[in-house]
């Protein structure tokens, strides 16, 4: 059944808030004055897309029916094709076997209806199974969405194009989850690789040169480290120096003797005249050359130390070297090498301070090799980096693919495993239901095709022509009728007596009646299009405009027949929504004979309010009993909520006064008016002026005319008119007020005394 129609921002209900018409029962009668929005409601049923935000909601969704709408638009569109109206087909007379087979297919408990219900249930089951699948997917989707931040910043580029779409992110994740779990890599390693592939500003890096190996043992003078350097043995002082082994002490003393003026710097005795010659002869040219060789060796060693310091600083100062060089290990290797070089320099200094001593040292080749090993490793990484730069596009895709694999199997390993465990049974159930639905759809299509085949054999439009023409004659329309169309197979033409097409020359009443008859018969006709459903929802908006009582009765009879068929499960119409402004017609179609049930009926009211959107409400009881009672109901509604007053309140008050005081008779309007003063007198005079103007035709055709006079003032004057005529008892009765409640209400109002 149709559940509800939501109208948002339509001309009937303003642009603020949502108005829901529903849920609707099999039969819904909606009453409202002209201009309250009834036609807008019918148009929304006909075409929800015409009003932004409007939708039709079916409950259940699988029970959706075709909707046929009768309103002013239908009248206009039908008369445009008066020369060639499409045929409305009904079953003609034929053999009983065909009719029995059609009944077997089309009755509410028939094959087509039963198959549709089973198909609907299967689709519901499929929707539930799909919901279970989506719930499982949503769990992984939400986890993936929240754990994106766990991916290192250098790899966040993997989410480009996925950050604004959870579903797209999930699909990419599931694709990665199909890859071998063993290929998942640590994100730290991937982030290092990303510096070449993902950074568009990255440029190639020069390889680091190796540290120089300088062999100290190959340098001149290295052998002197292991050789005592002493003076000449030919000097007579030589035996004494060798005996005392103080050649180094004597060599240092020579420098003091040169400045001591022939006095020994130690014993302060005058030295022999040839002592200096003896010492010079002892520390001869060979000794001096050897000392110079040692000093040269020391200078070479110092230059090596300085060169290594510059080398270390250059390596560590190279841009982005830390991305490839193990800096921590490099610092440790540097420290070891610097300590070894320091020991070498100390050995050389010791030898020079005591040339006769024997010292041992060697160039720290192992320490240099340790440094260069780290450099070789860094250069291998740099070469890989540079190669990736040369083929960045391919390398980038490969890297991002590997990032997704790690994201799926490492970051989201638990969640992915849970989905993979649950999904097989869910997918199997879904596929089984899809197979079942396909079979049911195939069966339904075959049965509907068979129904069209049977209907093609026995359908005819002539019974419709006969029926409509008989109805026209029964209510006095003899100047136009239907005849078979010459242009449309099994179609009709609406013609006058002289054969001309009757469309432009029809009165409003004639247009309303003939188009409604055509509409009513179309509800009985069988579906002719493959996509047309057999079940219908009929929406009828004011089918009695400008019709006299006899025609009105005929229309109400047709409507009541539709209502009866719905209750009995006959025909194609499963649901009716009737909208009208005419209280008498409303009373006719909602009349219940004694013992007649009206289960599935409900009643709607559309009220238009002054300078506000209309309001809609549904009731189980009929709120429209008589025209006079309905007028009082509007007054009572306005009294209880002045802000929601009907825009036509003044006209309603005028009609009540006219009706009631005509019954009393002998009412002196002038005398009543004179009992009021000021603005109240103006309002009273206006009410009676409207009465005398007689600006209405049929009483029950409620024609509302809004004014600018405030609701509270009109209601106050209206009540005083009854009070001044000693008819307040009638007022209280119609307003549903007791005498005590009336006194309390009067005490709370500022009502002026009668003049």
Q: Any idea which residue has 């409620």 for tokens? A: 702
**711 half-sphere exposure, CB direction, 13 A CA radius:** 19
Per-residue pLDDT band at 61 (split at 50, 70, 90):
low
Average pLDDT over residues 658-669: 71
Q: For 41-57, what is each residue's pLDDT tens digit?
A: 888 888 888 888 788 88
> SS3 of 145, please?
helix
d(CA 318, CA 314): 6
Per-residue pLDDT band at 370 (split at 50, 70, 90):
very high
Question: Which range is least confidently modeled, 110-119, 503-512, 541-550, 719-728?
Answer: 541-550
For the cut 50, the answer to whether the pLDDT of residue 258 exceeds it is yes
Among 575, 576, 507, which Cα is nearest to 545's? 507
Q: For 316-357, what is each residue's pLDDT tens digit?
A: 888 878 878 888 999 999 899 888 888 888 877 777 777 767
pLDDT value, residue 546? 57
Average pLDDT over residues 554-563: 85
pLDDT value, residue 435? 93
Q: For 410-461, what is each residue's pLDDT tens digit?
A: 888 898 889 888 889 988 999 999 999 999 999 999 988 888 777 666 666 6
Question: Which range is least confidently modeled, 525-529, 705-709, 717-721?
Answer: 705-709
Q: For 500-529, what is each residue's pLDDT tens digit?
A: 777 677 777 777 877 888 788 888 766 656
Tell me, yes or no, if the pTM score tops 0.75: no
Residue 537 near residue 575 (C-beta atoms within 8 A): yes
Average pLDDT over residues 448-476: 75
For the cut 50, the answer to whether the pLDDT of residue 702 exceeds it is no
pLDDT value, residue 519? 85
pLDDT value, residue 698? 32
Higher pLDDT, 736 or 645: 736
Q: What percent of the chain has pLDDT over 70?
A: 72
d(CA 230, CA 698): 150
Per-residue pLDDT band at 543 (split at 50, 70, 90):
confident
- DSSP line for 12-40: TT-SSSEEEE----SEEEEE--TTSSHHH
Residue 633 near residue 734 (C-beta atoms within 8 A): no
Average pLDDT over residues 133-152: 89
Provide the mean pLDDT of the chain.
76
Q: For 371-404, what is each residue's pLDDT tens digit?
A: 999 999 989 988 887 777 767 667 777 888 888 9
Beta bridge partners of 69: 539
Q: Is residue 60 reached through a cis peptide bond, with omega within 30 degrees of 0 on the bond before it?
A: yes
Higher pLDDT, 232 or 163: 163
pLDDT value, residue 329? 92
Per-residue pLDDT band at 63 (split at 50, 70, 90):
low
Average pLDDT over residues 678-686: 84
Q: Residue 502: how many CB atoms within 10 A of its CB?
A: 23
d(CA 737, CA 749): 15
Go through the chain and tell me how many residues it has.
755
Average pLDDT over residues 118-147: 91
Calculate the alpha carbon distances from 242 to 26, 228, 354 in Å: 136, 11, 15
Higher pLDDT, 320 or 141: 141
Q: Residue 185: how many CB atoms within 10 A of its CB?
A: 14
Higher pLDDT, 170 or 291: 170
Q: What percent of the chain has pLDDT over 90?
A: 9
What values do phi and psi take at 18, rounded to 5? -115, 135
> SS3 of 90, please?
strand
Average pLDDT over residues 540-549: 72
The residues near 99 (Cβ < 8 Å, ≥ 6 apart) are: 91, 458
d(CA 583, CA 561): 19
Domain boundaries, given as residue ranges, for the chain: 2-88+461-619, 232-283, 627-747
Calculate the alpha carbon distances from 173 to 412, 416, 670 in Å: 9, 9, 88
CATH class of 2-88+461-619: alpha beta
d(CA 454, CA 444): 15
Q: Exposed/middle/buried for 600, CB within 10 Å: 0-12, 13-18, 19+?
A: middle
For the cut 90, the answer to whether the pLDDT of residue 220 exceeds it is no
HEC string for 467-518: HHHHHHHHCCCCCEEEEECCCCCCCEEEEECCCCECCCCCCHHHHHHHHHHH
Alpha-carbon dihedral sign for residues 651, 657, 663, 668: negative
For the cut 90, the answer to whether the pLDDT of residue 577 exceeds it is yes
């Amino acid at each position: 059944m149709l559940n509800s129609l939501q109208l948002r921002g339509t001309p009937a209900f303003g642009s603020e808030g949502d108005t829901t018409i529903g849920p609707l029962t099999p039969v819904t009668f909606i009453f409202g004055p002209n201009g309250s929005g009834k036609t807008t409601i019918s148009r929304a049923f006909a075409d929800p897309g015409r009003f932004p935000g409007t939708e039709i909601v079916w409950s259940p969704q699988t029970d959706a029916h075709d909707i046929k709408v009768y309103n002013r638009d239908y009248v206009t569109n039908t008369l445009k094709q008066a020369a060639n109206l499409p045929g409305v087909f009904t079953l003609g007379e034929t053999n009983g076997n065909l009719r029995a087979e059609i009944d077997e297919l089309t009755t509410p408990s028939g094959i087509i209806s039963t198959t549709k219900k089973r198909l609907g249930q299967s689709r519901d089951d499929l929707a539930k199974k799909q919901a279970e699948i989506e719930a499982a997917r949503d769990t992984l989707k939400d986890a993936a969405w929240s754990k994106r931040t766990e991916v290192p910043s250098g790899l966040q580029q993997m989410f480009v194009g996925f950050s604004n779409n959870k579903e797209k992110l999930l699909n990419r994740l599931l694709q990665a989850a199909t890859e071998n779990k063993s290929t998942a890599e640590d994100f730290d390693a991937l982030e290092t690789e990303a510096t070449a592939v993902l950074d568009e500003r990255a440029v190639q890096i020069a390889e680091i040169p190796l540290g120089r190996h300088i062999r100290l043992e190959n340098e001149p003078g290295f052998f002197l480290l292991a050789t005592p350097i002493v003076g000449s043995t030919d000097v007579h002082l030589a035996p004494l120096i060798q005996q005392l082994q103080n050649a180094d002490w004597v060599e240092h003393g020579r420098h003091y003797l040169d400045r001591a003026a022939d006095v020994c710097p130690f014993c302060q005795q005058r030295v022999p005249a040839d002592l200096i010659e003896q010492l010079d002869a002892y520390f001869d040219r060979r000794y001096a050359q050897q000392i110079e060789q040692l000093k040269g060796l020391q200078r070479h060693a110092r230059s090596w130390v300085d060169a290594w310091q510059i080398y270390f600083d250059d390596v560590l100062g190279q841009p982005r070297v830390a991305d490839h060089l193990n800096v921590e290990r490099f610092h440790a290797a540097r420290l070891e090498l610097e300590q070894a070089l320091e020991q070498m320099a100390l050995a050389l200094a010791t030898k020079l301070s005591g040339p006769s001593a024997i010292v041992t040292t060697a160039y720290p080749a192992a320490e240099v090799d340790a440094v260069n090993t780290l450099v070789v490793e860094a250069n291998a990484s740099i070469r890989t980096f540079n190669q990736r730069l040369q083929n960045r596009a391919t390398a980038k895709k490969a890297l991002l693919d590997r990032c997704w694999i790690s994201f799926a199997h490492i970051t989201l390993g638990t969640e992915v495993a849970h989905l993979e465990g649950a999904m097989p049974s869910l997918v199997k159930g879904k596929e089984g239901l899809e197979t079942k639905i396909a079979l049911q759809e195939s069966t339904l299509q075959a049965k509907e095709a068979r129904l069209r085949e049977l209907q093609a054999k026995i359908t005819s439009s002539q019974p419709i022509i006969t029926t409509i023409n008989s109805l026209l004659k029964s209510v006095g329309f003899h100047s136009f009728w239907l005849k078979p169309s010459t242009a449309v197979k099994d179609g009709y033409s609406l013609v006058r007596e002289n054969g001309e097409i009757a469309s432009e020359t029809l009165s409003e009443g004639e247009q309303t009646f003939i188009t409604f008859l055509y509409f009513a018969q179309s509800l009985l006709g069988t579906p002719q299009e493959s996509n047309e459903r057999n079940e219908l929802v009929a929406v009828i908006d004011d089918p009695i405009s400008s019709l006299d009582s006899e025609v009105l009765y005929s229309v109400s009879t047709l409507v009541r027949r539709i209502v009866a068929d719905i209750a009995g499960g006959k025909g194609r119409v499963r649901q009716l929504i009737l909208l009208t402004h005419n209280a008498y017609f409303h009373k006719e179609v909602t009349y219940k004979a004694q013992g007649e049930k009206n289960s599935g009926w409900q009643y709607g009211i559309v009220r238009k309010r002054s300078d506000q959107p209309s309001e809609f409400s549904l009731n189980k009881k009929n709120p429209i009993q008589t025209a006079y009672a309905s007028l009082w109901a509007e007054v009572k509604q306005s009294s209880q909520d002045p802000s929601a007053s009907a825009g036509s309140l003044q006209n309603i008050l005028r009609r009540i006064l006219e009706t009631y005081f005509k019954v009393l008779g002998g009412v002196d309007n002038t005398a009543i008016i004179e009992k009021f003063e000021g603005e109240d007198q103006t309002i009273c005079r206006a009410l009676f002026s409207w009465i005398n103007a007689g600006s209405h035709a049929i009483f029950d055709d409620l024609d509302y005319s809004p004014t600018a006079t405030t609701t509270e003032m009109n209601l106050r004057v209206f009540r005083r008119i009854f009070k001044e005529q000693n008819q307040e008892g009638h007022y209280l009765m119609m307003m549903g007020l007791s005498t005590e409640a009336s006194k309390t209400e009067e005490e709370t109002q500022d009502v002026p005394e009668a003049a």
